[in-house]
Amino acid sequence: MTPIQRYDKAGTVYLVGSGPGALDLMTVRATRLIGEADVIVHDHLIADGVLDLVRSDAQKICVGKRTSNHTVPQDELNRLLVRLAREGKMVVRLKGGDPFIFGRGGEEIETLFECGIPFEVVPGVTAAAGCAAYAGIPLTHRDHAQTVSFATGHLKDGSVDLDWQALARPRQTSVFYMGIGGIKEICSQMMAHGLHGTHPAAVVQNGSTARQRVVTADLATLPARVAEAGITSPALIIVGTVVSLHKKLAWYDPVPEPEARNMLK
């Protein structure tokens, strides 16, 4: 059965990425599904204003996760999606960024598959691509980086035990999701595994939204600069010489959210 034949069917769960934060960066498909769903099961980190697109009679369930505070445990969330689908509802599981990049989408559809629930995945602009673009930091560049790596800033057990040797390769851009809490360890490990303290690094908070803030520094000074600026999650850490292009390539002037919503009409 093709995705077109399954489109908008009751009893189906749609894993939908809402993009990096700006409402008008969502896909057309995501926007349509959100407007037609019977139930929206959503995280905290979804595009600003996206819930205004939901049907007035649709059910909205927040299952968002914040650092060290999971509103709904993952196993319970998986069971919730199964139950809603078995009730014959069209379910949109709405996530920030892309469902398959640090969004636990794979875990959720494994449960759906095992329970015989039809599902579909609607990709979104992942935070690394969207926030870096809005910060004027190209993730790859022929003069700076021929590869790019995405890493989580904390693992399931709360540690930051990553393949530092691979992440600290020269001529590479490394992007850390959910890493603000461990920024000192991340910068320290990147220096311990070969990068100099003067290696450029940046943090982008609330990327692509009207609240976007960008802090640029180097590995040795970035943690202190971030603390001084009062940067908190949601934010990405970008490490690489591409960061040096920020001052020249930064192009984004925040657009008020009402204007962004009007662009979808």
Quick: pLDDT tens for 63-92.
986 655 556 899 999 999 999 999 999 999
212 and 164 assigned to the same domain: yes
Quick check: helix, strand or coil at residue 54? coil
pTM over 0.85: yes
97 and 132 assigned to the same domain: no
Write the pLDDT tens digit of every residue in 190-244: 999 999 999 999 999 999 999 999 999 999 999 999 999 999 999 999 999 999 9
254 falls within a domain: no
Q: Residue 147 above 50 pLDDT?
A: yes
Q: What's the pLDDT score for residue 259?
A: 53
Instruction: Give dist(CA 43, CA 227) in Å, integer.
Output: 26
What's the domain range around 39? 3-125
Q: What's the pLDDT score for residue 160?
A: 76
Residue 254 pLDDT class (50, 70, 90 cuts)? confident
263 falls within a domain: no
How is residue 179 written in tokens?
């890493």
Average pLDDT over residues 53-70: 82
99 and 179 assigned to the same domain: no
Task: Tell me how far the alpha carbon of residue 240 is from its chain's centroid.
Answer: 20
CATH code for position 56: 3.40.1010.10
Q: Which residue has the higher pLDDT, 94 or 254?
A: 94
Integer CA distances (angstroms), 201 to 39, 70, 87, 170, 240, in order? 40, 30, 48, 13, 6
CATH code for position 175: 3.30.950.10
Residue 248 CB-density burial (10 A; 0-12 exposed, 13-18 middle, 19+ buried): exposed
195 falls within a domain: yes
100 falls within a domain: yes
257 falls within a domain: no
103 and 145 assigned to the same domain: no
Write the pLDDT tens digit of every residue in 153-167: 876 555 678 999 999
The share of the chain scoring above pLDDT 70, in percent, equals 88
Which residue do the tokens 């590869």 mark?
Answer: 147
Q: What's the pLDDT score for residue 202?
A: 98
Q: Given 8, 9, 38, 43, which residue is catalytic?
A: 43
Average pLDDT over residues 23-43: 96
Q: Given 9, 24, 52, 65, which residue is catalytic?
A: 65
114 and 138 assigned to the same domain: no
76 and 19 assigned to the same domain: yes
Told to judge if 248 belongs to the known catalytic residues of this protein, a careful annotator would answer no
DSSP per-residue string spanning 63-118: --EETTEESS-HHHHHHHHHHHHHTT--EEEEESB-TTSSS-HHHHHHHHHHTT--
Average pLDDT over residues 35-56: 94
261 falls within a domain: no
66 and 19 assigned to the same domain: yes
Q: How many domains does the structure of the chain reveal?
A: 2
Nearest CA to 12 out of 121, 106, 124 is that of 121
Write the pLDDT tens digit of every residue in 101-143: 998 999 999 999 999 999 999 999 999 999 999 999 999 999 9
Average pLDDT over residues 94-100: 96
112 and 137 assigned to the same domain: no
233 and 152 assigned to the same domain: yes
160 and 107 assigned to the same domain: no
255 falls within a domain: no
8 and 109 assigned to the same domain: yes
Told to judge if 143 belongs to the known catalytic residues of this protein, a careful annotator would answer no
Residue 97, phi then psi, degrees to nearest 5 = 65, -130
143 and 206 assigned to the same domain: yes
